[in-house]
Amino acid sequence: MKTMTDDKLVNLYLEGNNDAFNILLERYKDKLYYYIYFIVRSREVAEDIFQETFVKAIVTLQQGRYQADGKFSAWITRIAHNLVIDQFRQERNENVVSNDESGVDLLNDASLSEGTVEAQMVNDQVLRDVRRLIDELPDCQREVVFMRYYQNLSFKDIADITGVSINTALGRMRYAVLNMRRIAAEKSISLAMEF
C-alpha cells in the first residue's frame, strides 16, 4: 500500500481501511508539521493545529466532500493554512509570534557544507543570517519563501494553498527578496562566504 497514490489511499480509507489513512499521515506528517511550525513559531500551537488539520481532513473525507484530483498534498496543506489563519485571527489582539529557537534547524542543508570545520562555521553563520532575514518578513512573504524553498512547491501550488492568484504569489516572492536585500543592507549582513 505504501506505493499507492494518495487518491487510491483515500478511496481505500473511505472503504473502511484505516491503514490507508495511516500511510497518508506518515507520508505527510513531517512536511505538514514543519510548514505549520515555521509559520506559528510555537511547538504547542503547531501540534494543536497539526492534529486539528488531520481531524478536519478525516471529517471532510467521511462527509464525501474531498474531490480526488491528485492534489491531496495541496489539499491537506490548504486545510493547515486555513487553520493557521484562524489561529492568527484569534491572537490578533496580541499579535505575538514566538521566535524561540528549536532543536530543528529548517535551514540545515548538508549539501551546503564542504565538510571542513571552517566551512561549517561559515555556513552556520549564513544560515543564521538568512533565518534572521526571513523572520523579519511579513507573514505572507515569509510563508511564500518557506513554501517555495523549503517545501519545493510550485507557484501554482502556493497560489492554490494560500488562496491567491499566481501573480500575487509571485509578487509576494519578489517583495520578499527585495525586503531581504534591504534588511541585509540595513543590518550589514553579507551572505557571501569570504575567506
Q: Which pLDDT value is given to residue 104?
A: 47
Same domain, 16 and 95: yes
d(Cα 40, Cα 34) in Å, to the nearest integer?
10
pLDDT computed for residue 152 by the predictor: 80
- Predicted confidence pLDDT, tens digits, the chain (195 residues): 889 999 999 999 999 999 999 999 999 999 999 999 998 989 999 999 999 999 999 999 988 888 877 789 999 999 999 999 888 888 764 544 444 444 444 444 454 444 566 656 666 676 677 777 888 899 899 989 888 877 888 889 999 999 999 899 999 998 988 888 888 888 777 655 443
- The answer to whether residues 10 and 68 touch, using CB atoms and an 8 Å cutoff, is yes
**pLDDT reported for residue 187:** 78
Residues 13 and 74 placed together within one structural domain of the fold: yes
Q: Are residues 126 and 72 in the same domain?
A: no
| Measured distance CA(152)–CA(148) in Å, rounded | 5
Grid cell, residue 129, equals 543570517
Whole-number pLDDT of residue 76 = 94
Residue 43 near residue 34, CB atoms below 8 Å: no
Local structure of residue 93 (DSSP, 8 states)? T
**Rounded distance between C-alpha atoms, residue 2 and residue 185, angstroms:** 48
Domain CATH number, residue 92: 1.10.1740.10
Report how far residue 162's alpha carbon sits from residue 171's, in angstroms, rounded to the nearest whole number: 13
pLDDT per residue over 96-122, tens digit each? Answer: 444 444 444 444 445 444 456 665 666
Are 78 and 147 members of one domain? no
Q: Do residues 71 and 118 both lie within one domain?
A: no
**Res 191: pLDDT:** 59
Assess whether 53 and 149 both reside in one domain: no
φ, ψ of residue 190 to 5 degrees: the values are: -110, 125
Rounded to whole angstroms, the maximal C-alpha distance in the chain is 61
- pLDDT computed for residue 193 by the predictor: 42
> Does 7 share its domain with 72?
yes
Domain coverage including residue 53? 1-101
Amino acid at 28: Y
Angstrom distance (rounded) from CA 39 to CA 147: 10
